[in-house]
Structure 1
Amino acid sequence: MPGWLARLPERAYLSGEPEAWLSTERPLVMVLDQRRASEASRALLGHEGIHEHVPLFAATSLAPLQEAGPWAVRLEPGSDAWRVGEALCRERRLGWCCQPLPTTDGDDLIAHLQGLFVWADPHGGQSLVNLQDPAALTALLAGAEPATLADVLGPFGELATPTPLGQWQAWQCPEPNDALDASRRLTVDMEAALKEAPQAWFLAERQGIRLDEVDAIWLEGLAVLNRHGITRARHLESLLPYVQQMAWRESEESRKILDSDQPAWRKVKALRKRMEMLQAQDRDTYAWTM
């Protein structure tokens, strides 16, 4: 299992209903990927309980992308706006939320958020992190060194992200350590985690398991299909048994199919036919040995 997935149980815990960690006395800040659901996001702003919304790319170097950028929405816990926004985050993976401490200045929190979208990367350049996506934020927090984790989480107070199983998980902030390097840059491990996150989320969601239960072999199997042009969710879903069997995908027959010049849908059809044949052979072998 990749290290970032193995660290998840140490850094975040399933919190059950939001009421288990929410205080009804402090406003919430919800970060929404409004680009992926612009109509639903605009409708949310009309519900009771909204204090303000801030386009997070405004007045930053990412301002040209503002129309497609995420929002920070400040709202009241328990309000109609919270009920609708919570469902958008948990059911549609459209965002996450935090509940800052009363001592946290609102403008400082927004500035902290805005500083988390662009990171120095291991290649000497800069990378845009889709922080509004719970899968990306989960990978970032799970893959970070402890000092970086404390630096990112500190101003948020209580921070919670949805999971592939439609639950909430709350993150635990480690004690800051001035002796450790908390510079804002992606490590090789963090970059790898961000690349693996969509595949890990897909597998956990389709298999009905926790992220930390996703097998590295499955991740590699999905990556192999992606590298050979098979990227549509319905195609990948139909090949899940194939993804989980390393011997199947490493066979000479499978490599020939993947390396061929066929369009993706033909590769999927050929792989499914081969998968069904191998499944039948396995059933016959089991019946013979009983």
Structure 2
Amino acid sequence: MPEWLARLPERARISGEPEAWLSTERPLVMVLDQRRASEASRELLGREGVHEHVPLFAATPLAPLLEAGPWCLRLEADSEAWRGGEALCRERRLGWCCQPPLNVAFADLIAHLQRLFVWADPQGGQSLVNLQDPAALTALLGSAEPVMLARILAPLGELATPTPQGRWQAWRDIEPGEASDASPRLTLDMEAALKAAPQAWFLAERLGLRLDEVDAAWLEGLAVLNRHGITRARHLDSLLPLLRQAGWREHRDIREALESAQPAWRKVKALRERMETLQAQDRDTLEWTM
């Protein structure tokens, strides 16, 4: 299992209902990927309980992407707006929420979040991190070294992100003294985690597993399929039994099908036929040994 997935149980806990971690006595903050649900996000702004609304790319170098950029909302806890936003985040992976400490001003929190979208990368360039995506944020927090983890979390206070099963996970407190003023810089491990996050989320969601239960071999197999043009969810769904079968990539006919110039749907057809053959052989072997 990749190290960032293995760290998740140490850094976050499944919290169940939001009432398990949020305080109804102070407002909370929600980061929302409005681009993927623009109509629902606009409707949310008209609900009771919205105190402030800030497009996070405004007044930053990312301003040209403003219309597609995420929003930050300051909401009244247990309000109509909170309930609608909570459902969007949890059920549709459209964002996450936190309750900053009382000594963190909303403007300071906005500035902190804006600094976390562009990171120096190991290749000497800069990478845009989709911080509004719970999968990306989970990968970032799971792979960050302790000092950087503290730097990210300190102003956020109580942070909760959705899980692939549509629940909430609350991130554990970090001692403020461990925080650092170091500028955001991706390590190779963080970069790898961010690239693998969509595949890990897909597998956990489809197989009904926690992220830390996703096997590294399944992730590698899914990446192989993606590299050979098999990227549609319905195609990948049909090949999940193959991904979980040990040694499937070692079969010559599977390698030939993947490396062929055929369209993706023909590759999927060939792989499914081979998968059914392998499953039949496994059943025959089981019957013979019983």
Do they fold alike, i.e. is TM over 0.5? yes
SS of 2:247's equivalent in the other structure is: helix
Q: Structure 2 counterpart of 1:252, which letter?
A: R
Identity %: 78
Residue by residue over 1:214-250, the C-alpha shift from the partner in whole angstroms, topping out at 9 and shown as x without a partner, is: 0000000100000100001110110001111241122
Unaligned runs of 5+ in 1: none
Equivalents in 2 of 1:219, 1:13: separation in Å? 23
Matched with 1:25 is: 25
Q: Which stretch has the larger CA shift, 248-257 or 27-36? A: 248-257
Q: Structure 2 counterpart of 1:155, which letter?
A: P
Q: Give the TM-score normalised by the residue count of structure 2.
A: 0.98
Determine if contact 1:30/1:98 at 8 Å carries over to the other structure: yes
Q: Are 2:125 and 1:125 aligned?
A: yes
Q: Are 2:96 and 1:91 aligned?
A: no
Count of paired positions:
290
Unaligned runs of 5+ in 2: none
Matched with 2:273 is: 273
Equivalents in 1 of 2:76, 2:19: separation in Å? 13
Residue by residue over 1:183-235, the C-alpha shift from the partner in whole angstroms, topping out at 9 and shown as x without a partner, is: 42000000000001000000000000100000000000100000100001110
Q: Structure 2 counterpart of 1:194, which letter?
A: L
Equivalents in 2 of 1:286, 1:239: separation in Å? 22
Matched with 2:8 is: 8
How far did residue 180 of structure 1 move?
A: 7.2
Matched with 1:152 is: 152
SS of 1:124's equivalent in the other structure is: coil
Q: Structure 1 counterpart of 2:267, which letter?
A: K
SS of 1:7's equivalent in the other structure is: helix
Matched with 1:287 is: 287
Q: Structure 1 counterpart of 2:38, which letter?
A: S
Q: Structure 2 counterpart of 1:98, which letter?
A: C
Matched with 2:73 is: 73
Q: Structure 2 counterpart of 1:121, which letter?
A: D
Equivalents in 1 of 2:14, 2:176: separation in Å? 23
Equivalents in 1 of 2:201, 2:130: separation in Å? 15
SS of 2:48's equivalent in the other structure is: coil
Residue by residue over 1:100-125, the C-alpha shift from the partner in whole angstroms, topping out at 9 and shown as x without a partner, is: 11111111000000000000000000
Equivalents in 2 of 1:11, 1:182: separation in Å? 21
CA distance 1:177–1:102, shift in 2 (3 Å): closer
Matched with 2:191 is: 191
Equivalents in 2 of 1:172, 1:280: separation in Å? 46
